Amino acid sequence: MKWKDLYTGIMISKVFAEYRNRPMKPTTLNKKLAIYGVQAVRGRDKKRVKDGKANENRDVLFWFLVEF
């Protein structure tokens, strides 16, 4: 999912609060997520063709929550 969607989903859960209504950067959020044993990792979809069609999401940056 995109960073904005991941971030809003985490903030809706109200586990963390923004400081003076400033959004957190990924490194800051990862430090706070480490308490729960997860990390936000980014990745790209590099396939040119998917299911016989041109991949619209090629080289788009996606974020995943990974348990470590």
The residue type of 61 is L
Rounded Cα–Cα distance for residues 17 and 29 (Å): 11
58's CB contacts (< 8 A; 6+ apart) are 45, 46, 47, 48
The model's pLDDT over 8-33, given as tens digits with 9 standing for 90+, comes to 999 999 888 888 989 999 999 999 99
Nearest residue to 7 (alpha-carbon basis) of 40, 45, 42, 43: 40
Name the pTM for this structure. 0.73
- Per-residue pLDDT at 61: 85
Whether 55 shows a pLDDT value over 90: the answer reads no
